[in-house]
Amino acid sequence: MDLIKQPWPWYVAGPLIGLVVPALLLLGNKTFGISSSLRHICAACFPSNISFFKYDWKKESWNLFFAVGIIIGGAVATYLLSVPGPVDLNPDTVVTLKHQGVKDFSGLLPADIFSFSQLLTLRGFIFIVVGGFMVGFGTRYAGGCTSGHAIMGISSLQWPSLVATCCFMIGGFVMTWFILPYLLQL
């Protein structure tokens, strides 16, 4: 059980994640990605004459089971396999975040920013609502999520996925180094 509770090194976890792509392609001719699950749910639950939702979503129902498996796996990892105590962060990162006003490091996400009580503040609204909207919009605009493009798209040599992944990385660097420090000061 200790093997499952501890973080795995990159040279084990990385190849295991990478092997998902050929397994999906060889076993079922399926592509990896999770952002299309919401489209499948809407097409299944709210059939209408909207052209975006008029397709045979049943052919992609495996993706819905995959998404449910991710949710169940996350719940199992959180409630049965989590190690009590704060997340192990680099001490320099902790010092930087404390300097920027983040004080609670007791969970996976700092409650100083991501909590229902913070949702009613300007900073919490920007992080949770505006950030969530931007992630959703960006995923739709890019034609997929980071996992779909970076894991599946690049490994199948798709040029748009390489461009999207580079843009995701650049956006993450800009957010982390230039925008986040100002948002944490709100």
Regarding whether 74 and 133 lie in a shared domain, the answer is: no
With a CB cutoff of 8 Å and minimum separation 6, the contacts of 91 are none
pLDDT score at 169: 94
Q: With 0-12 CB in 10 A as exposed, 13-18 as middle and 19+ as buried, what is 94?
A: middle
pLDDT given at position 170:
95
Mean model confidence pLDDT for the chain: 87
Q: Answer yes or no: is 16 within a domain.
A: yes
Are 61 and 122 members of one domain?
no
122 and 69 within one domain: no
Per-residue pLDDT tens digits for 134-170: 988 888 888 888 888 988 888 888 999 999 999 999 9
Closest CA to 147 of 18, 58, 16, 8: 18
Q: What CA–CA distance (Å, rounded) separates 11 from 16?
A: 9
Asked if residue 138 and residue 180 are part of one domain, the reply reads: yes
Same domain, 65 and 3: yes
Contacts with 102 (C-beta within 8 Å, 6 or more apart), sequence order: 110, 112, 113, 184
107 within a domain of the structure (yes/no):
no
173 is a domain residue: yes
Q: What is the pLDDT of residue 46?
A: 81
Decide if 93 is inside a domain: no
Based on the domain organization, do 74 and 126 belong to the same domain?
no
Number of domains in the chain: 2
4 and 77: one domain? yes
pLDDT, tens only, 106-144: 877 888 888 888 888 898 899 889 999 998 888 888 888
Confidence of residue 66 (pLDDT cuts 50, 70, 90): confident
Q: Specify if 175 maps to a domain.
A: yes
Q: Are residues 78 and 2 in the same domain?
A: yes
108 in any annotated domain: no
Examine the domain organization and report whether 76 and 123 are in the same domain: no
DSSP 60: G
pLDDT at position 61 is 86
Helices 61-79 + 37-45 axis angle, to 10: 120
- If asked whether residues 69 and 144 sit together in one domain, one would say no
* pLDDT band at 28; cut points 50, 70, 90: confident
Question: Within this chain, do residues 77 and 134 fall inside the same structural domain, yes or no?
Answer: no
- Residue 130: predicted pLDDT: 93
User: Residue 97 domain-assigned?
Assistant: no
Residue 184 lies in a domain: yes
Give the pLDDT score at 159: 94
pLDDT score, position 87? 76
| pLDDT score for 164 | 92
